[in-house]
Structure 1
Amino acid sequence: MKLLFVADPLERFTIYKDTTFAMMREAQRRGHTLAACEPRHLHWQSGGRVMARVRDITLTGDPRGWFTSTPERMAAVADFSSVLMRKDPPFDSEYFYATHLLEQAEREGARVFNKPRALRDHPEKLAVMEFPQFLGPTLVTRDPAEIRRFHATHQDIILKPLDGMGGMGIFRVRADGMNLGSIIETLNQGESQSVMVQKFLPEIADGDKRILVIGGKPVPYCLARIPQGNEVRGNLAAGGLGVARPLTKRDQAIGDALGPVLAERGLLLVGVDVIGDRITEINVTSPTCFQEIEQQTGCDVAALFIDALETALDRQA
């Protein structure tokens, strides 16, 4: 297969933990060929197909120079066996436009994972609304008064922007309401930005679990991201400690319930975030944690992913 990865600049990869790198490594091990581009390299002109400036790459096995590449060349996106959209958030206007270009490439015969329309239809904070049976008390609003009422009811709350990643912009407000007004102003931007507010779950002390769902099936291990020191955030980008664990019965039930629904919509890889027994987010843009789980448990998540990719392509052939 010829695989095209639409991702962030390769030169910025931290390969000892990067999930896209793990995918590439496993794909190359199986004899698949690799190419890469960034979303800004996609373009379309009337009368033609969606094109991209791509580099053909080969992994070297040397962490000091982990890939070699050919000079950039123009290629039709639909000419690749599969396109893997792995651009990190934020899901901004340019990301949105890239999904439309990739959807046009699908009309021309491209096979894109995760499916561009599914990426647009499942914003990572709001996708949880579809599964209220697994959700703790949650509010989405622009109205500061509604946030204050939610705080009065639940006393200890978490506030976060809808377009954040890696724990950015997350605040905790306890029963005393300290700085609630200032935090609302910061996130709400004069009632122009919606805010997600959730009841604080004390189980965060045991970790914010990332459950990976591949091809509709949960991986048997999750990565619990445990806050360190006085930090309330467990995100690895915010200094959390990642500890791999077998799924609990509740974790498995969540994965089993969400997996087939999301896979049917073209979401080959999903990262479900769970605190205690409640989901907090459903990550679809570029879920991570493959390498941390493999390094600690021996479960080769990248192999499970490439298995699922090959199966999906066989079904579409």
Structure 2
Amino acid sequence: MDRHAHVLSGTSDEAARHYERALSALLFFRGEVADEAQAMVAASPDSAMAHVFGAYLGLLGTEEKDAAAARRSFSAFRGAVDPAGLSPREQMHAAAAETWLEGNMLRAGEILGEISTESPRDALALAVGHQIDFFTGDAQRLRDRIGGALSSWDGDDPHFGPLLGMYAFGLEEAGHYGHAEEVGLQAVERHPRDVWGIHAVVHTYEMRGLFGEGIRYMDARTEDWTDGNYLSVHNAWHYALYALEAAASNASSASTTTLSTTRRRTPSPWNSWMPPPCCGGFSWSTSTSSPVGLPSPRLGPGVGTAPTTPSTMSTP
């Protein structure tokens, strides 16, 4: 079983340890995720969740060749395994991975949502589902998928911090900029190298036109977001956008250096993550007005109850 008592069929204790390390690396966008996932397969070749994890990684990278390799590998596993030997949660994960590999990302996200309803402390289902919501531009689900699960988590759990970072990004994409900043700062306070939490805070400043504040925020934690993670280049684009929008020539020069440095420090093979639609073009993004912020829900005892106001996805 994993640390939250989810069944890991065909998985040795050694492989389970690799699973936990791979999951933590995924939540924090760290480069060791691929090595840990491969080590899990090597330790337990019959582990369903090892193969599911590998399939998700091949898809999250958004590279066609990686997705094709994941499809071949996962198809071979599916052909050799008896589904009856898997737990219901594992069967649903396998179905989600297979559905996405076949090209139906939206349905895969729905299946992952069903897993989260039944097993709200399944961090893998939440994280992968969150990225699908991001890829498909579903602001409401970005907010509500994570918001609906948070009340099932212990605030002392080491994965609660990155979940707050995800929730912050969902709040921001749904237009709750002030509250998104508040929750994102909580996430980063828990884990200074939570680059998705940093990314969420960065978005809140962008959408409110607080470019100088955004530059100061990123400058204050440069080492936290530039080194050894899959989001460093993407966050450097945000820094460059700030510099252009603030018309700060010194910062613009610095952003060029930062972008070059982070490209060199970003681990392979995901140095292109995130996909271009999130980044937008400089000229397009800098000419787009920020939408009016919506009323902020409060994060408290009823954190799992998400607001239902309409939303507008941000483009940077």
The interval holding the TM-score normalised by the smaller chain is under 0.3
| Highest RCO, 1 vs 2 (Cα 8 Å, sep ≥ 6) | 1
Richer in strand (by share): 1
TM-score w.r.t. length of structure 1:
0.27
TM-score w.r.t. length of structure 2:
0.27
Richer in helix (by share): 2
